[in-house]
Structure 1
């Protein structure tokens, strides 16, 4: 009889541990973000329905052409010069966010959430401008462009039921404080994270 109780207790204990481990939610993930910026993404899920996210990356040299042309035209340094073109040498982008998740009203296997939140974005770019001087000579100059401001985020996230993989898609709106106050810029990205 004692062997029966011991065996029963052992089986119940194993079932309890197995059910606990299956019910346990992943609390962080790291992965790849494709879009603007393109780079690495890390997300930490907090108790409740909130999370913090950090992204580090870059962007295509060919994106934001009209933005950089407007920047050239707005700088006092280039007054009287005529814009010819520009070449973005590099861009580094950092994002930090606080996000709130809500379950998406759909009957799917796995977890499907939509989320929104606020954060901040810092972008540092090095641009070489070419332009015509007042004497109509072609000249060039290199400028470092720093953009900083708050960011609003809206996205959707899907976690596979049986695998620690999370896919996401989002849009965000940056309101610059530095160096073009009250200039708004729209960004979008998709990506995938490995959860652990």
Structure 2
């Protein structure tokens, strides 16, 4: 796990180091990975120049329990004028988590309401977008033995790496 995170950090640093032009390409949609909580496959599409929808499906495996989550968010992007290709974003979303436990026939279902605050950088000459965000989350629903408990959590978020599916396409 630590080696994977080091490899991702090194790749991102090398991309920044060898970046020669500071003009971001616009894009309509991108797909990739969110690394953090949860680890997830992600798809993001812009509805307008600044408004986007992101959906992601995640999985977390632990020793005695696993969770699968499905999340969606509406995000508003704002330029950071001093750095081409860099935007900050905010938004809100909802999700559902399905928990299963070792040795127990029943699981639990939790629902989430989340806020989003993050940064996105789109490379000028490479169809790659990277993100870092914080996702404070309210969790509610049935819990099992304190695992998957309800309440507020401020530890969610992470980094994302996406491949731009329509490189060079202007947003509508």
Please say if 1:127 is aligned against 2:95. Answer: no
Aligned to 1:80: none
Q: Which runs of 5+ in 1 are unaligned?
A: 1-21, 63-86, 129-139
Aligned to 1:117: 91
Residue number among 66, 71, 74 corresponding to 1:98 in the alignment: 74
TM-superposed CA distance for 1:61, in Å, is 1.2
TM-score (normalised: structure 2): 0.71
For 1:140-179, list aligned pairs within 5 A. Answer: 141-179=104-142
Q: Which has the larger radius of gyration?
A: 1
More helix by share: 1
TM-superposed CA distance for 1:23, in Å, is 9.3
Give, in whole Å, the separation in 2 of the partners of 1:28 and 1:113: 16
Where do 4+ consecutive residues of structure 1 move more than 6 Å?
none
1:63-87: CA deviations, max 9, x gaps? xxxxxxxxxxxxxxxxxxxxxxxx1
Give, in whole Å, the separation in 1 of the partners of 2:153 and 2:60: 14
The answer to which of 37-46 and 98-107 deviates more is 98-107
TM-superposed CA distance for 1:117, in Å, is 0.3
| Higher relative contact order structure (alpha carbons within 8 Å, sequence separation ≥ 6) | 2
1:79-105: CA deviations, max 9, x gaps? xxxxxxxx11x2101110000001124
Give, in whole Å, the separation in 1 of the partners of 2:81 and 2:134: 20
Give, in whole Å, the separation in 2 of the partners of 1:183 and 1:53: 24
Give, in whole Å, the separation in 1 of the partners of 2:47 and 2:92: 15
Residue number among 161, 164, 167 corresponding to 1:192 in the alignment: 161
Q: Which runs of 5+ in 2 are unaligned?
A: 1-22, 144-148, 167-172
Give, in whole Å, the separation in 2 of the partners of 1:55 and 1:150: 14
